């Protein structure tokens, strides 16, 4: 309780202390019901309606204007993607169990039976070994992360031997030069095995001529750098007579 001067009577009047906690109205948050909104209104304290303040996040700018708040963020550049498909077919392939690099109707005997990632082989670029370049798949135009690899292979002699076979991707790093002027490449070069499938084979009891094999890998562990020359490879079947073989592969990637 307290005393307050009354100007109309010139006396002090007794009154109860003010316990007013504000009007009974309040504020509320409207939602769409999707469960993804954040509430702007926090609480009412006395006669004060309290609202949460907007805060700048990473890459976000808030500008307070006279009557509004502008929210801006930098433009997100479009994702640059890359897709390439190769196809190889030949009636005559090498007769040893070894790696061939292949494309179109050409193959080159890279040799070896390495199946460990980052295994290397060497070969010489020269006029007598033009099938190295004839069988190239593509030259990477930019640094890229490979997102998908798929392939189909068929060979008429898979079941004639108990060996297990693999499909792989071989890379020669730093081929050519940046810009619009091609640079010469010759001499001994190193090929690196950067991707390999699990092994596959056909039991001898089955007729291999009827068997095609396919795969699609949506989580390959493979990155390429600008200037990488890329070849599709097959750890070749030993064959009897003419060895009909076809291999088709597709690679998808995004710019790193």
- Do 153 and 247 form a contact (C-beta atoms < 8 A)? yes
The whole-number pLDDT of residue 167 equals: 95
pTM to 2 decimals? Answer: 0.72
**pLDDT, tens digit (0-9, with 9 covering 90-100), for 137-164:** 999 999 999 999 999 998 776 655 556 7
Please tell me the distance from the alpha carbon of residue 195 to that of residue 232, in angstroms, as a whole number.
Answer: 10
- Where is average pLDDT lowest: 10-19, 63-72, 99-108, 188-197? 10-19
Please determine, for residue 44, whether its predicted confidence score (pLDDT) is greater than 60. yes
- Where is average pLDDT lowest: 110-119, 199-208, 223-232? 199-208
b/e map 16-52, b = 16+ CB within 10 Å: eeeeeeeeeeeeeeeeeeeeeeeeeeeebeeeeeeee
What distances in angstroms separate CA 135 from CA 93, 120, 228, 250, one per listed residue?
13, 18, 15, 15
Nearest Cα to 247, choosing from 205, 223, 208, 215?
215
* List of E strands, the chain: 2-6, 11-15, 41-45, 48-51, 61-64, 69-72, 81-90, 99-103, 106-109, 120-125, 138-139, 144-155, 167-172, 187-196, 212-217, 223-224, 229-235, 245-255
The whole-number pLDDT of residue 134 equals: 96
The whole-number pLDDT of residue 223 equals: 97
37 vs 196: which has the higher pLDDT: 196
Q: Considering only CA atoms, give the Rg of the chain.
A: 36
Averaged pLDDT, 38-64: 88
Averaged pLDDT, 77-89: 94
Averaged pLDDT, 242-255: 90
The whole-number pLDDT of residue 70 equals: 93
Most confident range, picked from 32-36, 56-60, 83-87: 83-87
Query: For residue 184, what are the contacts with CB-CB under 8 A and spacing of at least 6?
Result: none
Question: In the chain, what percentage of residues exceed pLDDT 90?
Answer: 55
And the tokens for 6?
């009354």
**pLDDT, tens digit (0-9, with 9 covering 90-100), for 95-120:** 678 899 999 999 999 999 999 999 99
DSSP label at 226?
T
- Please give the backbone phi and psi of residue 3, each rounded to the nearest 5 degrees, phi first: -110, 140
DSSP string, 150-173: EEEEEETTGGGS---B-EEEEEES
Please determine, for residue 20, whether its predicted confidence score (pLDDT) is greater than 70. no
Structure confidence at residue 91 as a pLDDT band (50, 70, 90)? confident
């Amino acid at each position: 309780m307290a005393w307050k001067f009354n100007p109309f009577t010139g006396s002090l009047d007794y009154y109860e202390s003010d316990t007013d906690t504000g009007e009974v109205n309040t504020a509320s948050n409207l939602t769409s019901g999707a469960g993804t909104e954040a509430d702007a209104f926090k609480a009412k304290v006395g006669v004060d309606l309290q609202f949460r303040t907007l805060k700048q996040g990473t890459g976000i700018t808030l500008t307070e204007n006279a009557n509004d708040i502008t929210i801006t963020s930098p433009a997100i550049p479009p994702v640059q993607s890359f897709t390439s498909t190769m196809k190889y077919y030949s009636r005559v392939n090498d007769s040893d169990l070894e790696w061939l690099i292949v494309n179109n109707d050409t193959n080159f005997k890279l040799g070896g039976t390495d199946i460990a990632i980052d295994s290397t082989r060497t070969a010489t670029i020269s006029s007598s070994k033009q099938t190295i370049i004839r069988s190239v798949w593509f030259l990477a135009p930019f640094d890229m992360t490979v997102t998908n690899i798929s392939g189909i292979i068929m060979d008429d002699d898979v079941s004639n031997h108990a060996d297990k076979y693999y499909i792989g991707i071989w890379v020669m790093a730093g081929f050519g030069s940046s810009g619009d002027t091609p640079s010469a490449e010759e001499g001994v070069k190193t090929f690196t095995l950067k991707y390999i499938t699990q092994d596959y084979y056909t039991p001898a009891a089955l007729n291999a001529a009827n068997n095609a094999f396919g795969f699609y890998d949506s989580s390959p562990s493979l990155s390429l750098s600008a200037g990488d020359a890329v070849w599709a490879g097959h750890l070749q079947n030993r064959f009897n007579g003419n060895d009909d073989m076809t291999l088709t592969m597709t690679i998808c990637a995004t710019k790193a």
